[in-house]
């Protein structure tokens, strides 16, 4: 699609003008609504459609199997029940004691400042997570600070979500300054899909705020397919790199979207063009409603073996699964060979 409007429009307007109606999305893409519409309307009742126009602009019109569309269009298959696919696959409801914080991994502390995302990814493990009740308020900072100070092993705070880059620069600044005041923190990590779906979010103010922080900043973006990375998006990602921010990518292995070695190889090279290093390739979390994105382990092994053979080691994302209760993400490839 040719849609260059989004390169001009500021990110705040783009964020307040998302497509949320399945009928509109299908019309914009010139897809015959009756094929997909009824399922989309039903499935969107459980987890709403939400997608920025800039992201839709990267989709192919007339292609109901477009890999970007499949990630965001609600589908009737989401309504099927499948054994093992549950609402809280990672057991986060239990782990979550204080509002908005999660300390599962030794050196890293997860802080959720917003439950909102710019895009709703249909495979997301958070599609059933009750954030709104559980976000830290300004007055909670005192408790969070005390906790961080009592845990000298924590050297990194991760802003996750929801998506922290849906917050205003002012709000982000307030939290970054708070974190900077904890002496033993060294790293601030931001997990966000916004630079991919609304590249204009990477504005001057954000760049200079991150560049000037005392904390070393790592931005982990989330892109699953090279088509998400058009020239404009890559330019914005590269500006982050130019401002001394380490930019990494995590992807999720998704049936119908990127379940081919060639697609993953193209993604890695495209990221590298933008100065972004591949980090994780996640196996799907078994969340209710996402079964149709799942892949058999044999198929995963086959794809990943080919990825390993095709890319230089530094462009191979680590294949991992998150297992509830484990002390880190679990690597899925090569460990058994190494141990035997």
CA distance 44 to 48: 4
Rg of the chain on CA atoms, in Å: 20
- Picked from ligand PLP, ligand SF4, none, the partner binding residue 117 (CB below 5 to 8 A depending on kind) is ligand SF4
104 touches ligand PLP (CB under 6 A):
yes
Q: Find how far residue 330's CA is from the centre of its chain.
A: 18
Task: Count the residues of the shown chain that bind ligand PLP, applying the rule CB under 6 A.
Answer: 9
252 touches ligand PLP (CB under 6 A):
no
- Picked from ligand PLP, ligand SF4, none, the partner binding residue 102 (CB below 5 to 8 A depending on kind) is ligand PLP
> Judged by CB, which is closer to ligand PLP: 110, or 118?
110
CA 190 vs CA 103, 128, 164, 221, 314: distances in Å = 16, 22, 7, 8, 22
Task: Give me 244's structure tokens.
Answer: 């001394």
CA distance 298 to 295: 8
Helix (H/G/I), strand (E/B), else coil: 252: strand
- Please calculate the CA angle 271-275-280 and round it to the nearest 5 degrees: 50
Among 28, 48, 86, 105, binds ligand PLP (CB under 6 A): 105
> Judged by CB, which is closer to ligand PLP: 48, or 108?
108
Asked if 224 and 71 count as a contact pair (C-beta separation under 8 A), the reply is yes
- Residues engaged in binding ligand SF4 (CB under 6 A): 117, 119-121, 124, 126, 161, 163, 193, 222
- Picked from ligand SF4, ligand PLP, none, the partner binding residue 158 (CB below 5 to 8 A depending on kind) is ligand PLP
Among 54, 68, 110, 117, binds ligand PLP (CB under 6 A): 110
> Judged by CB, which is closer to ligand PLP: 244, or 330?
330
CA distance 56 to 108: 34
Only one residue has tokens 């204009």, namely 200
From 281, 276, 157, select the one nearest 221 (Cα to Cα).
276
- Picked from ligand PLP, ligand SF4, none, the partner binding residue 167 (CB below 5 to 8 A depending on kind) is none
**For residue 299, what is the enclosing H or E element?**
helix 297-310
108 touches ligand PLP (CB under 6 A):
yes
- Picked from ligand SF4, ligand PLP, none, the partner binding residue 302 (CB below 5 to 8 A depending on kind) is none
CB of 14 to ligand SF4, least distance (A): 15
Cis amide linkage into residue 162, ω under 30° from 0: yes
- Picked from ligand PLP, ligand SF4, none, the partner binding residue 236 (CB below 5 to 8 A depending on kind) is none
131 touches ligand PLP (CB under 6 A):
no
217 touches ligand PLP (CB under 6 A):
no
Task: Give me 277's structure tokens.
Answer: 């290093």
φ, ψ of residue 52 to 5 degrees: the values are -70, 145
318 touches ligand PLP (CB under 6 A):
no
158 touches ligand PLP (CB under 6 A):
yes
Q: Which residues bind ligand PLP (CB under 6 A)?
A: 102, 104-105, 108, 110, 158, 322, 328-329
């Amino acid at each position: 699609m040719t849609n260059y409007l989004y390169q001009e429009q500021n990110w705040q307007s783009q964020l307040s003008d998302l497509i949320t109606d399945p009928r509109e999305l299908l019309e914009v893409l010139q897809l015959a609504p009756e094929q997909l519409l009824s399922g989309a309307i039903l499935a969107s009742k459980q987890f709403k459609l939400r997608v920025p126009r800039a992201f839709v602009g990267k989709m192919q019109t007339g292609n109901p199997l477009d890999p970007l569309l499949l990630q965001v269009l609600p589908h009737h298959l989401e309504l099927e029940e499948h054994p093992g696919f549950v609402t809280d696959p990672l057991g986060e409801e239990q782990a979550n004691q204080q509002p908005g914080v999660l300390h599962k991994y030794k050196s890293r502390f997860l802080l959720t400042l917003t439950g909102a995302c710019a895009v709703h990814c249909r495979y997301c493990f958070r599609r059933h997570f009750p954030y709104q009740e559980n976000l830290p308020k300004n007055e909670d900072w005192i408790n969070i600070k005390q906790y961080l100070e009592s845990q000298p092993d924590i050297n990194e705070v991760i802003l996750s979500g929801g998506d922290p880059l849906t917050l205003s620069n002012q709000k982000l600044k307030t939290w970054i300054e708070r974190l900077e005041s904890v002496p033993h923190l060294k790293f601030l990590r931001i997990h966000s899909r916004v630079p991919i779906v609304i590249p204009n979010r990477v504005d001057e103010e954000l760049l200079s705020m991150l560049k000037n922080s005392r904390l070393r900043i790592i931005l982990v973006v989330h892109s699953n397919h090279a088509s998400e990375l058009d020239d404009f998006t890559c330019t914005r990602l590269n500006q982050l790199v130019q401002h001394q921010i380490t930019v990494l990518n995590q992807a999720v292995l998704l049936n119908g979207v990127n379940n081919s070695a060639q697609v993953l190889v193209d993604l890695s090279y495209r990221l590298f063009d933008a100065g972004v290093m591949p980090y994780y390739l996640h196996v799907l979390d078994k969340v209710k409603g996402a079964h149709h994105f799942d892949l058999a382990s044999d198929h995963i092994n086959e794809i990943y073996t080919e990825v390993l053979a095709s890319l230089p080691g530094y462009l191979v994302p680590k294949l991992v699964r998150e297992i509830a209760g484990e002390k880190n993400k679990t690597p899925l490839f090569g460990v058994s060979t190494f141990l035997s």
